[in-house]
């Protein structure tokens, strides 16, 4: 049947009283950290994304294409797809997009935009109109731990949401109605995890004092370069078009005085600076306590300390949505080839499998276009942010997605001595409860399970995707030195896989620089390359990620393991393997 615009508009009105529930598996419409307050009204604006449904066979074809261009053994390795080619692969009918657009236009919106792939429609409308469109109730929610200088509020549904029945078959999910952001606020006083480590100066390698006395005993850029062996990339060395990016949320801005103070203290040849920002920046926030900028400054200072003059972009989003970030990257006609993200949550906290699979499609799009995505694997070991709830392990998302590269954390085996590493006990890792073992790691996972001493099978999913894929220093034995606090910067230490992820991303940005300088394509989705070249990494064979001794956990072992992946960067070997 052929619809005209007039007919579709009539259809929207006629079906207004008929709705179909979406994400039907969701039965909790609250969060322990968010307090429901007032009902949203017509004076409140709501921004949502209506995500159109792809045929499962076409998504499988996209995965096939992704693996073909990402597998070094493939005849089409490195021949990444364009936006138009991905649209052809997904083969979403223009009629479906057209139909949904016209039904949605039957409601009052203040902004209306369809993405370049024709599969996501972004709407802005008042909350009263959104309640009509999605047949739900919307309330303001305030974060219970938000400090007074950072009031935090989101509008979310407190009951199931629906879409008009006329477009129910075309719509997968509506994002920014159900999911609550995970926010962490630290007190104004420096908490214990930022305090300097106990340190015996005579026992330390010189690199641990390379950022001055304020950082004595901390991991510094000199420590990382000594351990991982990557070269310094100066402006004249940067390949044309090579770029990298970090993603920031949750009031995580950055300021130039801290970046300059870090560069000066550590004697970096290339001053740490941000070349462009997507989503805005509020540097003044970095002078209000430490909670505003610690995460972003860690990411920026260390990806640049590693990758030198390679240009850096910062994506900032006030929506707190990793899905929104992925859509933003994919809508960029020329996204940075390396993306580092230090945010995530447990799979069990993701509200619905529909959401995770929909987000995976965005990751596949990015990888097929030649974008490498690194996610920190989490800082609570096998137990995740949910802790020992249910007496089962809680894998991380997106780190456990098969279409991203998960980065775990290590410590030096001997404190303040650059050498062998051991698994950080709080580094996230394990096996997904949602996603199957991908082919690129099947042999590595099978080897680990056949040789390691495993926890009782009741704790984890034996058929799940294993993570992390790689690791880097991130533990608390020698925390990372950072500059923070705005004008008159302070120096202190921060630990976590949030530190490891930008370091690994910086190393891969350098590897991209080599390839691009030689006229080759960027590495893109690197997991097949990683597992085919596992011997190019520093294997980590000791330690257990049991989160501070709360047995059990997964042991590090020879080869890949769910505590440290294939190991930490060994740049010279990695470059030879390109």
Burial readout 468-477 (b: 16 or more C-beta within 10 A, e: otherwise):
bbbbbbbbbb
Q: What are phi and psi of 119, to 5 degrees?
A: -120, 5
Q: Give me the residues paired with residue 407 across strands.
A: 376, 470
Neighbours of 195 (CB within 10 A): 11
Contact partners, residue 399, CB within 8 Å, separation at least 6: 344, 375, 376, 377, 378, 406, 407, 428, 467, 468
List 299, 301, 332, 425, catalytic entry? 299
Q: Binding residue per annotation — 47?
A: no
Alpha-carbon gap, residue 434 to 352, rounded angstroms: 10
- For 541, how many CA atoms within 13 A lie in the half-sphere containing its CB? 6
Q: Binding residue per annotation — 539?
A: yes
Neighbours of 394 (CB within 10 A): 26
Alpha-carbon gap, residue 294 to 390, rounded angstroms: 32
Contact partners, residue 210, CB within 8 Å, separation at least 6: 220, 221, 222, 223, 266, 267
Is 396:427 a contact under the CB 8 Å cutoff?
no
Q: Binding residue per annotation — 76?
A: no
Alpha-carbon gap, residue 575 to 578, rounded angstroms: 5
Catalytic residue list contains 255? no
Q: Binding residue per annotation — 540?
A: yes
Catalytic residue list contains 55? no
Neighbours of 358 (CB within 10 A): 23
Alpha-carbon gap, residue 402 to 404, rounded angstroms: 6
List 63, 340, 498, 555, catalytic entry? 498
List 255, 295, 301, 425, catalytic entry? 295
Structure tokens at 246: 């970090």
Is 356:24 a contact under the CB 8 Å cutoff?
no
Residue 126 class from Cβ within 10 Å (0-12 exposed, 13-18 middle, 19+ buried)?
middle
Contact partners, residue 26, CB within 8 Å, separation at least 6: 160, 178, 351, 352
The alpha carbon dihedral of 519, 522, 528, 533 has a sign of positive
In 273-351, alpha helices (H)? 294-307, 322-331
Catalytic residue list contains 498? yes
280: left (phi over 0), alpha (psi -120 to 50) or beta: left
Q: Reduce the DSSP state of residue 357 to 3 states and report it.
A: helix
Is 384:426 a contact under the CB 8 Å cutoff?
no
Return binding residues for Ca(2+).
539-540, 559, 561
Return binding residues.
539-540, 559, 561
* Catalytically active residues, by annotation: 295, 299, 498
């Amino acid at each position: 049947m052929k619809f005209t615009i007039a007919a579709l508009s009539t259809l929207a009105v006629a079906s207004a009283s008929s709705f179909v529930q979406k994400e039907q598996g969701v039965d909790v419409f609250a969060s322990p950290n968010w307090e429901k307050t007032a009902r949203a009204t017509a004076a409140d604006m709501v921004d949502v994304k209506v995500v159109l449904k792809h045929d499962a066979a076409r998504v499988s074809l996209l995965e096939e294409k992704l693996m073909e261009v990402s597998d070094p053994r493939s005849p089409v390795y490195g021949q990444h797809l364009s936006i138009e080619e991905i649209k052809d692969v997904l083969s979403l009918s223009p009629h479906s997009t057209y139909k949904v657009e016209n039904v949605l236009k039957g409601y009052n919106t203040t902004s209306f935009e369809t993405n370049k792939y024709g599969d996501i429609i972004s709407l802005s409308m008042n909350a009263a109109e959104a309640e009509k469109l999605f047949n739900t109730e919307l309330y303001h929610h305030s974060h219970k731990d938000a400090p007074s200088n950072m009031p935090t509020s989101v509008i979310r549904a407190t009951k199931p949401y629906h879409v008009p029945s006329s477009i129910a078959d075309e719509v997968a999910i509506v994002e920014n109605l159900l999911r609550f952001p995970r926010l962490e606020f630290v007190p104004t006083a420096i908490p214990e995890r930022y305090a300097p480590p106990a340190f015996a100066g005579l026992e330390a390698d010189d690199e641990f004092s390379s950022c001055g006395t304020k950082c004595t005993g901390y991991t510094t850029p000199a420590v990382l370069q000594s351990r991982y062996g990557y070269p310094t990339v100066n402006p004249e060395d940067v390949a044309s078009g090579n770029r990298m990016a970090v993603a920031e949320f949750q009031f995580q801005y950055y300021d130039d005085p801290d970046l300059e103070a870090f560069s000066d203290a550590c004697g970096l040849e290339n001053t740490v600076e941000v070349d462009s920002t997507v989503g805005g920046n509020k540097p003044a926030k970095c002078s209000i306590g430490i909670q505003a900028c610690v995460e972003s400054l860690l990411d920026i200072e260390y990806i640049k300390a590693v990758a030198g003059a390679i240009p850096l972009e910062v994506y900032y989003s006030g929506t707190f949505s990793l899905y929104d970030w992925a859509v933003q990257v994919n809508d960029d006609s020329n996204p940075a080839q390396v993306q580092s993200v230090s945010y995530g949550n447990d799979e069990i906290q993701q509200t619905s499998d529909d959401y995770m699979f929909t987000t995976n499609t965005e990751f596949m799009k990015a990888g097929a276009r030649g974008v490498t995505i690194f996610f920190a694997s989490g800082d609570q070991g096998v137990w995740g942010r949910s802790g020992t709830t249910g007496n089962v392990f809680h894998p991380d998302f997106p780190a456990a997605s098969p279409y991203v590269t998960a980065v775990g954390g290590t410590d030096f085996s001997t404190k303040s001595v650059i050498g062998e590493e051991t698994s950080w006990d709080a580094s996230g890792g394990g096996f997904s409860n949602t996603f199957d073992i991908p082919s690129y790691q099947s042999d590595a996972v099978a080897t680990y399970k056949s040789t390691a001493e495993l926890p009782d099978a009741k704790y984890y999913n034996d058929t799940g995707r294993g993570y992390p894929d790689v690791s880097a220093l991130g533990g608390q034995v020698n925390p990372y030195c950072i500059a923070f606090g705005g004008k008159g910067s302070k120096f202190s230490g921060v630990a976590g896989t949030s530190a490891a992820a930008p370091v690994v991303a910086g190393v891969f940005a350098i590897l991209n620089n080599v390839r691009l300088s030689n006229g080759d394509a960027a590495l893109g989705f690197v997991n097949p390359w990683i597992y085919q070249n596992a011997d190019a990494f520093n294997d980590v064979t000791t330690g257990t990620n049991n989160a501070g001794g709360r047995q059990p956990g997964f042991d590090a072992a020879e080869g890949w393991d769910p505590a440290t992946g294939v190991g930490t960067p060994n740049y010279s070997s990695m470059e030879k393997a390109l």
